[in-house]
Amino acid sequence: MKYLILIYHNQKAREAWEGSSEAHRTEGLRAHAALVEDLAGSGELVVSGALSDPSQARRVLVGEGRTTISDGPFAEVKEYLAGFYLVECESADRAVEHAARIPEAAFGLVEVRPVLVDTGPDM
Amino acid sequence: MEVEDLLREHAPQVLAALVRRYGGFDTCEDAVQEALLAAAVQWPTDGVPANPKGWLTTVASRRWTELWRNGAARRRREETAALLTPGDPEQVPAVDDTLSLLLMCCHPSLTRVSQVALTLRAVGGLTTAEIARAFLVPEATIGQRISRAKQRIRASGAGFRLPSPSERDERVAAVMDVLYLIFNEGYTASSGAALNRVELTAEAIRLTRQLRSRLPDDGEVAGLLALMLLTDARRPARTGPDGALTPLADQDRSRWDTQAIADGVTLITETLASAPLGPYQLQAAIAAVHDEAPRAQDTDWPQILGLYDLLHSLAPGPMVTLNRIVAFAMVRGPRTGLEHLAAAEADPALAGHHRVHAVRAHLLDLAGNHEAARTHYELAARHTLSIPEQRYLNARAAQLGPSAS
């Protein structure tokens, strides 16, 4: 099964991150690097990525034959997607184990969601 | 024979010949993979050589020599030289080669996904790229699984030989589980999604036929092959135009593959009469009863229930419990089925499982309680991890009227 591990950020986490010591931040980045390395080594990593600041986001609206683009920042956004890991694991527990190694999990901002498959049982 | 089929046919034999000659499964496997890639490029333009197996063996041997000259390969060879005793290729019966390879690829020290990838490459003769496309992951991911699997085989000291009889049953069972997993992975509902992907169901059936030719007296191997044939026979009818699963009861049975059904029925009938009973045989027997009914209402449910009773005592599991309840309800009526379902839910493996909601919805529907049935179909649709199943469950819910919520 594939699982998407979603990492969210919010104001509080951002302030905590920016206010933390250099050593603490280095440690956080190392945790991500080590996770990527381990997932690639075990053959479980499909793809991972960190997302730009939400101020770089563009919203796309198609209607009445026109495409309208609106730029950020979107003030109403309290929590936004900051990064992701797409992994393929033997079990959901295993995916959760990986997710628990993500530093943002300390803020409760990490989510694991199974990706739907296109196979199905006979009924 | 197509070039691709020729390559897949010869891949395990060439690999086995190399392993016997040089030892060191991992380097040999790399060398064979490169020979297969070379053939895939050259043969379609230059023509197929008179002796394809000889050609592949020569090219793979040459490639092996190059790899061996490379320092890393030499170190690896020194490490494994003590563990592997290459025999004379002529003295060992070639018939055991594919079996030895299958058992090595499904070595217990490997994770299931690694067993799958290695089996498809080393025995199936697929390229890393083809396996990656089939599983919708990057090539690097599959490449890593294969190289990691080979490292583990090396570290485990597993030799290229058949395991002891005491160990053999367990190892063969692992091979069967891997082949069935490959089959199910390929059993997609939509042909569109499978475009440009290797047909994993066909590959699983081909490899299971090979396993069966090596172990003709193993009832479970025969049962597995019959199960695959009888299941795959229904594939043309199992998906609607909207990509939703069509349940057995609603399938257009004229679209079933009658030849595959005939082959599967013959195989399972012969096997049940001669071999000790096993779970794959029972599942095949259940599939055969379904396939033999000209119309859904002709299905011999008492017989299916009897087979599920046997399966439940031989290899109990949450899905067996649920399927048995469905059969039970078809024999004794949906209300009795619902009572059994409520009792079965006490099993933690089933509590809250989407299939429990789906079965409950189905039985409520049969009992005439459409309102509650719809609620449970919706609940099941939210919990399933399968897209075609979700479409089916949502469609059933919609047929039962607009949602109250």
Q: What is the ipTM of this complex?
A: 0.84
- The pLDDT of residue B403 is above 50: yes
Q: Domain range holding B247?
A: 216-316
User: b or e along B239-274 (b: 16 or more beta carbons within 10 Å of the residue's beta carbon)?
Assistant: bbeebbbbebeebebeebbeebbebbbebbeebbee
CB B210 within 8 A of CB B202: no
- In tens, the pLDDT along B31-45 reads 999 999 999 999 999
Q: In percent, how much of chain B has pLDDT > 70? A: 90
- Considering the domain boundaries, does residue B323 fall inside one? no
Tally of structural domains, chain B: 1
A114 in contact with chain B, both atoms CB, cutoff 8 A: yes
Q: What is the C-alpha separation between B390 and B366, in angstroms, rounded?
A: 20
Label residue B2 by pLDDT band (50, 70, 90). Answer: confident
Give the orientation angle of helix B71-81 with respect to helix B52-69, to 10 degrees.
Answer: 100
Q: Per DSSP, which regions of A1-123 are E strands?
A: 2-10, 45-50, 58-63, 66-71, 79-88, 110-114
pLDDT in tens, B50-109: 999 999 999 999 999 998 887 666 666 566 654 554 444 444 445 568 888 999 999 999
Give the model confidence (pLDDT) of A26-48 as tens digits. Answer: 999 999 999 999 999 999 999 99
CATH 3.30.70.1060 fits A2-114, yes or no: yes
Where does the pLDDT of residue A75 fall: very low under 50, low under 70, confident under 90, or very high at 90 and above?
Answer: low
Separation CA B207–CA B205 (nearest Å)? 6
pTM for this structure? 0.88
For residue A1, list chain B residues with Cβ-Cβ distance below 8 A: 385
Domain-embedded: residue B204: no
Q: How far is A23 from chain B (nearest CA, A)?
A: 32
pLDDT band at A15 (very low <50, low <70, confident <90, very high): confident
Is residue B345 in a domain? Answer: no
Domain assignment present for residue B252? The answer is yes
Q: Does residue B288 lie in a domain region?
A: yes
- Whether residue B279 is contained in a domain is answered as yes
> Are the CB atoms for A43 and B148 separated by under 8 Å?
yes
Chain B residues whose C-beta is within 8 A of a chain A C-beta are: 111-114, 117, 135-138, 140-142, 144-145, 148, 184-190, 193, 231, 234, 238, 245, 247-248, 355, 358, 384-390, 392
CB contact under 8 Å between B141 and A88, yes or no, is yes
Query: What is the average pLDDT score of chain A?
Result: 91
| Res. B167 pLDDT band, cuts 50 70 90 | confident
Q: Please, which pLDDT band fits residue A73 given cuts at 50, 70 and 90?
A: low
* Residue B355 falls inside a structural domain: no
Q: Count the Cβ atoms, other than its own, within 10 Å of residue A31.
A: 15
Helix (H) or strand (E) holding A27: helix A22-41
Q: Using CB atoms, which residue from B114, B248, B387 is nearest to A123?
A: B248
What is the rounded average pLDDT of the residues B124-151? 92
Q: What number is the average pLDDT over the span B299-316?
A: 97
Each domain of chain A, given as residue ranges in start order, spans 2-114
- Which among B186, B197, B228 has a CA at the least distance from the CA of B211? B228
pLDDT tens column, B313-351:
999 999 999 999 999 999 999 999 999 999 999 999 998
Between B226 and A107, the more confident residue is B226
